Amino acid sequence: MLRKLMRKKTTDIQSLNERMELVKKRQIPDHVAIIMDGNGRWAKQRKMPRIAGHHEGMKTVRQVTNFANDMGVKVLTLYAFSTENWKRPKIEIDFLMNLPGEFLNTYIPELMEKGIKVEMIGNMDALPAHTKNAIEKAMEITKDNQGLILNFAMNYGSRIEMVHVMKELAQEVADGKIEADAIDEGLINSKLMTAHLPEPDLLIRTSGEVRLSNFMLWQLAYSEFIFTEVLWPDYNEDCMLQAIEEFQNRDRRFGSLEGDRKG
């Protein structure tokens, strides 16, 4: 029985590696954004506290980050904590605020070895000092890395982001720095927190929920969406590979009649 299981595991690994090589020959999404959902339900199914699900989800972050880096994805944005998440119970919020420090302090050596660069979008100033310090430290240590950008959306809300952009542009018009007619998509893009990043090619949301939850509403205009029933702690390399395979089979039109399928 043990030998049979070992043979199956070896076959599964070989199959995954073969699929990875095939996928790499086609167009890889430059920017993948993920709404990591289902930690609480994962824990509830196992009669465990919600925080246990969040901790297990942290392991998935590591797994998916390494896989995305290996596949040649340039940016991986993870929706870690929304501006609405402050409404959750204090004990859960406190735990979530400790996770960035635990994750980054544990895996910084691995991130450095793999050349992964840590970034963040969201209001960092509103985070607890220890959370902010952990993220800033990781960003400083990894700032010269040339591999995947691991971009955490932390205390992030897209509507607030857009309001800040509108206020900034309105002030520039009032100050005579720009004309109102000069405001276009390019100028708005330049004011976003993601101005230096490509727009997401692929959005993945786990746990079966089918909504954006105030996440990158402007940036996702032409992204491909994939919603999966898999809970975030159960999401793995095979799930991620399936998502990229599906992305490669989509016919991206960007509003035109001709698709953008390549490879």
Which alpha helices (H) appear in 72-146, and where do they start and end? 90-114, 129-142
Tell me, what's the pLDDT at 88? 96
Please indicate, yes or no, if residue 196 is contained in any of the structural domains. yes
Q: Pick the catalytic residue: 30, 66, 70, 85?
A: 85
17 is catalytic: no
* Residue 66 dihedral angles phi and psi, to the nearest 5°: -65, -40
Tell me, what's the pLDDT at 253? 73
Tell me, what's the pLDDT at 13? 63
Task: Profile the chain (263 residues) by mean pLDDT over runs of 10 residues.
Answer: 50 81 97 98 98 98 98 99 97 97 96 98 97 98 98 98 98 98 98 98 98 99 98 98 97 69 52
Please indicate, yes or no, if residue 23 is contained in any of the structural domains. no
CB 94: neighbour CB atoms within 10 A?
11
pTM exceeds 0.85: yes
Exposed / middle / buried, residue 59 (Cβ in 10 Å: 0-12, 13-18, 19+): exposed
Segment (H or E) for 246:
helix 237-248
- What total number of domains does the chain contain? 1
Distance CA(101)–CA(103), nearest Å, equals 6
Please indicate, yes or no, if residue 173 is contained in any of the structural domains. yes
| Strand-pair partners of 75 | 31, 149
Distance CA(18)–CA(229), nearest Å, equals 25
Q: How many CA atoms lie within 13 A of 261 on its CB side?
A: 11
The whole domain housing 71 covers 29-248
The contacts of residue 156 (CB under 8 Å, 6+ apart) are: 79, 81, 82, 83, 121, 122, 123, 193, 215
Please indicate, yes or no, if residue 154 is contained in any of the structural domains. yes
Please indicate, yes or no, if residue 263 is contained in any of the structural domains. no
Please indicate, yes or no, if residue 10 is contained in any of the structural domains. no
Among candidates 151, 153, 123, which has minimal Cα distance to 139?
A: 151
The contacts of residue 159 (CB under 8 Å, 6+ apart) are: 214, 217
Please indicate, yes or no, if residue 172 is contained in any of the structural domains. yes
Distance CA(48)–CA(50), nearest Å, equals 7
CB 29, CB 76: distance < 8 Å: no
Query: Residue 99: which CATH number?
Result: 3.40.1180.10
User: How open is the CA angle 215-61-189, to the nearest 5 degrees?
Assistant: 30
**First-to-last C-alpha distance (Å) of the chain:** 41
Distance CA(6)–CA(51), nearest Å, equals 33
Please indicate, yes or no, if residue 107 is contained in any of the structural domains. yes
Tell me, what's the pLDDT at 261? 54
Tell me, what's the pLDDT at 251? 87
| Strand-pair partners of 32 | 76, 202
236 is catalytic: no
CB 250, CB 226: distance < 8 Å: no
